[in-house]
Chains A and B, each alone.
Chain A
């Protein structure tokens, strides 16, 4: 799983339904990705991301990003490249996703988060 996906997922427990509840990543093994830089794709994603959630997720992995992003930043190729790498080239192989609202966790194994309700 890459950070782009973390940004698109929500907790789907009964308790959190209807909240679009974002999840927090507790990473285990992380491997660097090899996806080739794609400027247009990054710009497209910027229009869809929950930017603040992304900034926070990136920070937890040690990547600092500005609090907001403007049209003018789209020309900043160094920044766009960095955003791309954080979105697409950080591959979370193991770990868990935690819901801060209901405290449920969803495990990540072999790069695949399991969003099915777990037996507790």
Chain B
């Protein structure tokens, strides 16, 4: 195991989910959170939720977390696909001021042969600066570089294409010095810039934000050849993210218009566009699309999917519709499909269709002052592995819920009260949002 310093991409608008993302991506490499964060000596009982609580409060000010990973290639993989992750460095020193940073680096150099070997390598190198919530002028940077002169770096300086990048990270309260070992493919524009919604030929009012969709696919641990289902597929925003990671995708939606581009969901550029258009444009395999009612699933039972990822209908942006006629044509009471029912159906679907270890990832709307952990839907075959909050306003937020399919059922506390809790959520959300 190696200890690296992970820099979080602090400008990410979904930074609330960065700890969850780091945990999920590390688990692809067989690392549990306890090992990942062992540097911090946190209680063994910590859940993902507790880790988020622990790291998040100061992350925008000091977006660094020490992590343990098996090797450089795990770090590379995580940096390449992490929405909230900017880079990993081999840490050389940490300090409260630049002068002690230099001192600590020198000390490390003298005492740790592994660290010394990075400094004594012959390859071309350069210094790079990363500043957070503090500005450092060009002159200051030059003088900082000069002060590092006490350390006997070998190799030539090459500012254009250095083989070794030493990163000086400066935040308000701490500074760090380290050798970059992995970083996001394109730090400036981010790797997902090419999926910008505004360039899509097919787009609807409820198309899931691309960064959020990628984060969700990361929570779902989507890999090459994963089978992924979005049972509320809409315009396919989430499946585009899953496709980026090489999944074979399946989607269902009750609204045939949003699938076929009839009046809704079509950009004006191409009047022929439908749900498949964006996938073709991005060079992805076309998803398999079914028009169906998720509350009356038409998928055979079986351990088919590796991940079920969705943004369920709970009002606010898309209204929940449920077919009003049953199979033989009797009119059912006009119930709108929302509240606890949506989530209950979704969890049952996931329990029925996920392989053991497969993941259900979805967004859960919450009214902040009435939220309690107990209100998160439960299922005997699904274990909650992630629950992090994305605050939208003082009053409302949405939670990114991640569950994992178990081999055998465990008992869950009784469900009473949840129905009550979610019954009014749509109305409450509407109210809060309209005001």
| Cβ-based interface call for A27 (8 A) | no
Q: Which residue of A lies closest to B306 (CB)?
A: A44
Are B260 and A110 in touch, CB under 8 angstroms? yes
Task: Please tell me if the beta carbons of B285 and A115 are within 8 angstroms of each other in the complex.
Answer: no
At the interface, yes or no: A5 with Cβ under 8 Å from chain B?
yes
Closest chain B residue, CB of each to CB of A91: B286
- Residues on A with beta carbons closer than 8 Å to the beta carbon of B302: 8, 48
Q: Would you call A111 and B327 a contact (CB within 8 A)?
A: no
What number of residue pairs across chains A and B have CB atoms under 8 A from each other?
A: 87
Across-interface contacts of A14 in B (CB, < 8 A): 326-328
| Interface presence of A72 (CB below 8 A) | no
Q: How far is the CA of A33 from the CA of B260 in the complex (A)?
A: 19
Minimum CB–CB distance for B246 against chain A, Å: 9
Docked CA distance A15–B328 (Å): 9
B248 an interface residue at 8 Å Cβ cutoff? yes
CA distance A91 to B96 in the complex (A): 62
Q: How many residues of B contact A (CB 8 A)?
A: 34
Report chain B residues within 8 Å CB of A44.
225, 227
Query: Are A12 and B250 interface neighbours, CB within 8 A?
Result: no
In this complex, how many residues of chain A approach chain B with their Cβ under 8 Å: the count is 36
Q: Is the CB of A117 within 8 A of B225?
A: no
Q: Which of A35-43, A55-63, A75-83 contacts B (4 or more CB under 8 A)?
A: A35-43
Contact B290 A15 (CB under 8 A): no
A41 & B248 in contact (Cβ 8 Å cutoff): yes
B48 at the interface (CB under 8 A from A): no
Closest to A107 in B: B291
Q: Across the two chains, which residue of chain B brings its CB closest to A19?
A: B300
Contacting residues, chain B, for A33 (C-beta < 8 A): 286
User: Closest CB of chain B to A13's CB: distance in Å?
Assistant: 4
B225–A38 touching, CB < 8 Å? yes
Contact assessment for B227 and A12 in the assembled complex, using a CB-CB cutoff below 8 Å: no
Q: How far is the CB of A74 from chain B (nearest CB, A)?
A: 15
Q: Is B371 an interface residue (CB 8 A)?
A: no
* Residue from A20, A36, A48, A116 within 8 A of B323 (CB atoms): A116
Provide the residues of chain B in CB contact with A110, threshold 8 Å. Answer: 260, 274
Map CB proximity to A onto B301-340 as digits: 1 under 8 Å, 0 otherwise: 1111000000000000000000101111100000000000
**B299 lies within 8 A of A114 (CB):** no
- Establish whether residues A8 and B329, one from each chain, have CB atoms under 8 Å apart when the complex forms: no
| Interface presence of B297 (CB below 8 A) | yes
* Alpha-carbon separation in the docked complex, A35 to B288 (Å): 12
B interface footprint on A47-90 (CB within 8 Å = 1, 0 otherwise): 01010000000000000000000000000000000000000100
Question: Is A1 positioned at the interface, with any CB of B under 8 Å from its CB?
Answer: yes
CB of A8, distance to nearest CB on chain B (Å): 6
Q: Is the CB of A9 within 8 A of B225?
A: no
Least distance between B234 CB and chain A CB atoms (Å): 14
Q: Give 18 pairs: A residue, B residue, CB < 8 Å, sorted on A.
A: A5-B250, A8-B250, A8-B299, A10-B299, A10-B300, A12-B327, A13-B327, A14-B328, A15-B327, A22-B300, A40-B225, A44-B227, A50-B300, A104-B327, A116-B292, A116-B323, A117-B326, A119-B325
